[in-house]
Amino acid sequence: MTADKPIEERTEFTPQFNEQGLIPVITQDAHTGQVLMFAWMNREALDETIKTRLGTYYSRSRKKLWKKGEQSGHIQKVKQILTDCDQDCIILEVEVDAGQCHVGYYSCFYRALKPGSQTELEFIAEKTYDPDATYGK
């Protein structure tokens, strides 16, 4: 037991949910390290993710659990779960298929700030699936 140690040194997993009962989650491709998305979990979503090994989040807009891929089929197979020094953020390392982002890209992070610009983005990826075919128009 290391519960008497500072949270940074503990081996007890004691995730720190915020005042809304949520913890931020970074989802990363287990093989390439590419960040795929950023979302939130509540305690139930985290427990479900650990139990099923499928990425499950809490939708703040719909105010309910959201199993990634339940509509699109683009599920996330969880290979490893990391936490940070303060245990107030989680990384899911996952295996995915063609797409993750609802816009049709592999990653939600498909735009970068143009070099030298403070206001203009450029697209740095190509779509990997057709979201209209997946979600309907």
Minimum distance of a second copy from residue 125's CB (angstroms): 10
Distance separating alpha carbons of residues 100 and 105, to the nearest angstrom: 7
Examine residue 33 and tell whether it contacts a second copy (CB under 8 A). Answer: yes
Please state the φ and ψ torsions of residue 43, each to the nearest 5 degrees: -55, -40
Place of tokens 């081996």: 11
Of 5, 44, 47, 130, the one binding a second copy by CB under 8 A: 47
Q: What is the CA radius of gyration of the chain?
A: 17
Closer CB to a second copy, residue 95 or residue 122? 122
Examine residue 121 and tell whether it contacts a second copy (CB under 8 A). Answer: yes
Closer CB to a second copy, residue 75 or residue 100? 100
Residue 4 CB burial class (10 angstroms; 0-12, 13-18, ≥19): exposed
Place of tokens 């735009």: 111
C-alpha 78: how far from chain center: 11
Minimum distance of a second copy from residue 72's CB (angstroms): 14
**Residue 35 and residue 57 in contact, taking contact as beta carbons nearer than 8 Å:** no
Of 19, 119, 133, 136, the one binding a second copy by CB under 8 A: 119
Examine residue 101 and tell whether it contacts a second copy (CB under 8 A). Answer: yes
Examine residue 130 and tell whether it contacts a second copy (CB under 8 A). Answer: no
Binding residues vs a second copy (CB under 8 A):
8-13, 24, 26, 28, 32-35, 37-38, 47, 50-51, 80-86, 89, 91, 101-103, 105, 108-113, 117-124
